[in-house]
Amino acid sequence: MIRKLVIAAVVSIGAAFLIQNALSSFGDRMHLSEPLSGLHQHYFWNATQPLPVNDGDILFQYVYIDPLNVPRELMLQWHVNDPEGWGHRAYWGEDLINFGDENLPRTRMGPMPNAGEWIRLEVPASQVNLESKQVDGLAYTLFDGRAAWDNSGKNSQPTSPPPPPPPTPHLNSLDVTPATVTLSPGQKKTFAAVGQWSDSVARPVTIVWSSTGGTVSNSGSYTAGPTVGNFVVRAFASGTPIGDSATVEIRDSTSPPSPELVALDVTPASVTLDPGASLTFVGQGQWSDSISRPVAVVWSATGGTISTSGAYTAGPTPGNFVVRAIASGTTIGDSAALVIRDTTSAPPPPPPPPPPTTLVQEGFEDTGFAARGWYDNTSLTITAAEHRPGGTKSLEATFNQGSLKPTFGGSMRIRFSPTESVYLSYWVKYSANWVGSGVSYHPHEFHFITDEDGQYIGPSATHLTTYVEHNYQNGGFPILSMQDALNIDTGRLNQDLSLVTENRAAAGCNGETDSYSTSCYQSGTEWRNGKQWKTTLPAFTTVPGPGYKNDWHHVEAYFQLNTIQGGKGQLNGIAQYWFDGQLLIDHQDVLFRTGIHSTMKFNQFLIAPYIGVGSPVTQTMWVDDLVIQTARP
């Protein structure tokens, strides 16, 4: 006997949750998790018809793993209306989702199921303590990746054969990118071709390339010939008449090529609105010369209305919807996910988040920085002359008199999994003659940058950089600060835009939303801004005793991005600093980002000591046992 579970309500936590027509395992509908990083899930409870589970029953769930976005872990959580609640969990793959405890454990059922086909997952009710209980909810939980979900229920009889597999997909069309390109004689460009298949999945195919005006290799690498003009690169799927082509303009190399549009970015990428609420979306073109420029956009949307300028108004119906943008006259586009809330009832609280995750751990015991993921300048100096107890070496940054940078040169960087919060812990010691910059600003020491900027961007002009540093004025004053110069609306400088638009800067030049003082100044032809939090008394002292700069001290800092609600940045970001365990800076009402940056996350860290006015003396700082986590332990 087969029983199914009737869904009363569905909540999406950490994932855009869709019910849509697709090739499901039963009927014509399924539900689909979007491809996201880390933990994401959707679930329901309080089903109108709970599922009675008897002794010996087998619980089942049909799932289809996206072969292009395979999760690292898949978990099913059954809900019972008793004190155990969600404490009935089974998982496949890695053990990354830290739900449950010793009294309500999670049960591993095996490796991650095969991707690219419908799989029937089966869990004996006895293994998740569900015999003789009434199931009224089910959570569909992933770590990374995407999956489609179909029928859920139980089977009191021997398992029936799985449903027949979906039909084998066939190639519908071929897309060559880039579609147009401008080259100089002898210049190279690699083209790519991706097959569009009948199951709406893009997959690589074997390609036969040909071209005019130059030569093209079997891998799609085109070399422009000497003749100026317009030419064609063609691609055909091997053994088929299905193909596509790209236009190549070969120009006189004495004149620079015109930039071409290569991508379109819609911001914000995802947002949640109440019925009737409005938000303006922005389409920004990414061009071949690595510069972002506005581009004419054709807008469309579901779930509400959108104007020609991108102003969206949410309709009355709650659910998951999409805003789409196509660059005018092209096929280049992007979309944003939009959720319209059900304001008639509040959703149940989500399960508690997992504990802090360690993102970076560096002991400076050897110079193998590149092997540990560091990049840019990996030739930093380490020394055995200074180190914390328990280690043998530390990082040494020596400034010669008059130099802007330490003797080892520029910054060393590392990237980590995107996160909305970062905690930095390190030990530091300064030479007895350390005076820093000798002025009321600098040295810079450590920086965090977000995923809205490239991996080699300069930290002084980004969409968001946060700083941890110390300024010496007869003692070392701890400083936390931020800048978001690339968000400045330079057409409306020194105007308060906080009630006008979310397309503005948060650190100055466009208003002071969170009441903290900001700066707005010009550097050459570019505008810069800044917001700073500084202690009133020095933490590092100039004479032996507590806080002496020539002793080892423990520094901790924490940044948490503010939330976005109704398309607007909220005043709840956090900036904190500890010195030897004592909290010296604590601000929990900070605006780091506006609503247009709703998906922004930290993903890059820089060790970048820098004195912009030149070092007054030859002086040294040492750093040891550096750790970056998502939260303070």
What's the per-residue H, E or C state across 356-420?
A: CCEEEEECCCCCCCHHHCEEECCCCCEECCCCCCCCCCEEEEEECCCCCCCCCCCCEEEEEEEEC
Instruction: Tell me what pLDDT residue 354 has.
Output: 78
Same domain, yes or no, for 293 and 317?
yes
Residues 219 and 274 in one domain: no
160 in any annotated domain:
no
Same domain, 101 and 205: no
Show which of 155, 187, 207 is a domain's final residue. 155
Looking at the fold, whether 335 and 371 belong to one and the same domain comes out as no
Q: Are 228 and 251 a contacting pair, CB within 8 Å?
A: yes
Is residue 162 included in any domain, yes or no?
A: no
Summarize the confidence of residues 360-374 as an average pLDDT.
Answer: 96
Radius of gyration of the chain (CA): 28
Residue 464 sits in the same domain as residue 369: yes
pLDDT number for residue 165: 64
Statement to judge: residues 328 and 445 lie in one domain = no
Q: Kindly indicate the confidence band of residue 26, based on its pLDDT and cuts at 50, 70 and 90.
A: low
> Are the CB atoms for 115 and 70 separated by under 8 Å?
yes
Pair (240, 120) in one structural domain = no
Is residue 459 in some structural domain? yes
Share of the chain above pLDDT 70, in %: 92
Of the three residues 123, 155, 187, the one that is the final residue of a domain is 155
For residue 352, tell me if it sits in a domain.
no
The verdict on 367 and 494 lying in the same domain is yes
Q: State which amino acid sits at residue 127.
A: Q
Pick from 547, 396, 576: nearest CA to 475: 547
Structure tokens at 428: 């530091």
CATH of the domain at 579: 2.60.120.200
CATH at 34: 2.60.120.430
Please report which residue ranges of 219-265 form alpha helices under DSSP H: none
Contact 216, 191 (CB under 8 A): yes
Q: Considering its fold, how many domains does the chain have in total?
A: 4
Pairing label, strands 202-204, 192-197: antiparallel
Domain annotation covers residue 350 = no
Confidence of residue 337 (pLDDT cuts 50, 70, 90): very high
Residue range of the domain that includes 46: 2-155
- φ/ψ (deg, to 5) at 551: -110, 165
558, HSE (Cβ side, Cα atoms, 13 Å): 21
Residues 292 and 215 in one domain: no
pTM of the full structure: 0.48
* Rounded Cα–Cα distance for residues 319 and 16 (Å): 10
Burial class (CB in 10 A: 0-12, 13-18, 19+), 514: buried
- Based on the fold, state whether residues 80 and 183 are members of the same structural domain: no
Q: pLDDT tens digits for 64-102?
A: 999 889 999 999 999 998 888 899 999 999 999 988 877
Q: Are 575 and 516 in contact (CB under 8 A)?
A: no
Whether 387 maps to a domain, the answer reads yes
Average pLDDT over residues 207-219: 93
Tell whether 353 is covered by a domain: no
Q: Give domain status of residue 534, yes or no.
A: yes
- In this prediction, residues 141-150 reach a mean pLDDT of 93
Instruction: State the pLDDT at residue 537.
Output: 95
Query: Please, what is the end-to-end C-alpha distance for the chain in angstroms?
Result: 50
Span 165-189, mean pLDDT?
Answer: 87
Q: What is the CATH number of the domain that holds 282?
A: 2.60.40.10
Structure tokens at 181: 């390109």
pLDDT in tens, 470-504: 999 999 999 999 999 999 999 999 999 988 999 99
pLDDT band at residue 162 using 50, 70 and 90 as cut-offs = low
Domain co-membership, 325 together with 436: no
Residue count (the chain): 633
pLDDT greater than 80 at residue 618: yes
Residue 581 has pLDDT above 90, yes or no: yes
Residue that finishes a domain, picked among 205, 225, 250? 250
pLDDT at 34: 84
Please check whether residues 290 and 379 belong to one and the same domain. Answer: no
Within 10 Å of residue 532's Cβ, how many Cβ atoms? 18
Which helix or strand (DSSP H or E) is residue 620 part of? strand 619-629
